[in-house]
């Protein structure tokens, strides 16, 4: 048999206690409300003191609930701010990277413009200049040191002509084509340049080592000493390189041989100036015409 739907509290002691406590709370609340109403009416200062005491008790609890409520309400805003800050950080990093690229390009262009201005100034001051052109590549990693010039026979470049920068001598043209030329750098092992020391005019020979440096040896019979810091320029001997072109500076000495660093760095070449040889090649001797045979 199913239990009845309407069960009175008397069937459950727990329900009886709950109902009793509910009545007690209702009656107690009514009494407290009545007492506070009477107190506020007949004794306002005492009611203010009671109200202050209740405020002292309930304020920390209200503050705690307000902090929890504001924290929960601020969670979505905090999450949104995190993602916004992260996106803004990524955008600023990308902007900095782009700015670094622009600054690097600007520095490169500034360096090229400075080198080109110096080269053009040198060309205007040197009457034997042939053409100013760009060195498009250089064999840096090879033991043989060559460079390619983007000017050739159609621009007046000829075999044997010296190639230089404003800073100093670079090399000598060894091959030409209509629009390109191959340059033997002075640091190549096959390169030999007559030089002289600027301090006393001592003649010497500068030959390439193949590692970016030069060996400088005295051209005289007597053994002469070199000192770090000695500078050497072309002497004009041989008639190929014009005098007083900077070539090298001594960085260390080894007995009677000095190790020199080129004045024009061959690993950082951009533009170069091709010049005429210092002395023109001798004119070919005329071929004697055959004399008429005499009749007997």
Using one digit for the tens of pLDDT, what is the confidence trace for 190-247? 999 999 999 888 899 999 988 888 999 888 766 678 888 999 999 888 888 888 899 9
Contact 138, 233 (CB under 8 A): no
pLDDT of 19 reads 77
Pick from 17-26, 76-85, 238-247, 279-288: least confident: 279-288
Read off the pLDDT of each residue in 115-134 and give the average, rounded to a whole number: 71
How would DSSP label each residue in 20-53? Answer: HHHHHHHHHHHHHHHHHHHHHHH-HHHHHHHHHH
Tally of CB atoms within 10 A around 141: 5
Report how far residue 111's alpha carbon sits from residue 65's, in angstroms, rounded to the nearest whole number.
67
Would you identify the CATH topology of the domain 130-275?
Thrombin, subunit H (2.40.10)
Phi, psi of 8 (to 5 degrees): -80, 160
Read off the pLDDT of each residue in 133-145 and give the average, rounded to a whole number: 73
| Radius of gyration for the alpha carbons in the chain, expressed in angstroms and rounded | 49
Looking from the CA of 52 toward its CB, the CA atoms found within 13 Å total 6
Contact 148, 182 (CB under 8 A): yes
CA 217 to the chain's CA centroid: 39
CA 173 to the chain's CA centroid: 33
How many contiguous H segments (helices) and E segments (strands) does the chain have?
Answer: 2, 12
pLDDT of 249 reads 93
For the chain, give the number of residues. Answer: 296
Cα separations in angstroms, 16 against 4, 8, 13, 20, 235: 18, 9, 5, 6, 125
Tally of CB atoms within 10 A around 170: 28
Q: What is the DSSP letter of 179?
A: S
Q: Which residue has the higher pLDDT, 71 or 160?
A: 160
pLDDT of 296 reads 43
Whole-number average pLDDT of the chain: 77
How would DSSP label each residue in 62-77? Answer: HHHHHHHHHHHHHHHH
Instruction: Look up the pTM and report it.
Output: 0.58
Contact 34, 47 (CB under 8 A): no
Contact 269, 119 (CB under 8 A): no
pLDDT of 119 reads 61
Here the tokens at position 263 are 């004045």
Here the tokens at position 31 are 């009494």
Report how far residue 251's alpha carbon sits from residue 245's, in angstroms, rounded to the nearest whole number.
19
Tally of CB atoms within 10 A around 102: 10
pLDDT of 247 reads 93
pLDDT in tens, 72-124: 766 666 666 766 777 778 877 777 777 777 776 666 666 666 666 666 666 66
Report how far residue 203's alpha carbon sits from residue 224's, in angstroms, rounded to the nearest whole number.
10
Check the CA dihedral 38-40-44-49 and report its sign.
positive
pLDDT of 292 reads 47
């Amino acid at each position: 048999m199913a239990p009845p739907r309407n069960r009175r509290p008397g069937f459950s002691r727990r329900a009886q206690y709950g109902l009793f406590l509910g009545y007690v709370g209702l009656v107690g609340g009514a009494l407290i409300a009545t007492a506070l109403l009477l107190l506020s009416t007949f004794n306002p200062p005492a009611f203010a003191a009671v109200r202050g005491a209740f405020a002292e008790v309930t304020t920390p609890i209200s503050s705690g609930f307000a902090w929890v409520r504001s924290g929960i309400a601020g969670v979505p805003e905090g999450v949104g701010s995190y993602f916004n800050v992260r996106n803004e950080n990524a955008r600023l990093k990308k902007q900095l990277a782009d700015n670094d690229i622009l600054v690097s390009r600007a520095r490169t262009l500034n360096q090229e413009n400075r080198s080109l201005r110096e080269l053009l100034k040198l060309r205007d001051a040197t009457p034997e200049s042939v053409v100013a052109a760009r060195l498009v590549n250089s064999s840096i990693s090879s033991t043989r040191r060559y460079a390619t010039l983007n000017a050739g026979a159609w621009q007046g470049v000829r075999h044997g002509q010296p190639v230089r920068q404003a800073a100093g001598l670079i090399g000598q043209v060894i091959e030409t084509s209509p629009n390109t030329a191959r340059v033997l750098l002075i640091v190549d092992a096959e390169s030999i340049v007559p030089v002289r020391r600027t301090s006393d005019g001592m003649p010497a020979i500068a030959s390439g080592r193949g590692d970016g440096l030069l060996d400088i040896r005295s051209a005289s019979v007597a053994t002469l000493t070199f000192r770090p810091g000695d500078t050497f320029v072309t002497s004009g001997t041989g008639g190929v390189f014009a005098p007083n072109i900077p070539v090298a500076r001594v960085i260390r000495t080894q007995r009677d041989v000095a190790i020199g660093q080129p004045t024009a760095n061959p690993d950082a070449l951009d533009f170069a100036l091709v010049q005429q040889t210092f002395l023109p090649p001798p004119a070919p001797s005329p071929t004697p015409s055959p004399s008429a045979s005499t009749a007997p």
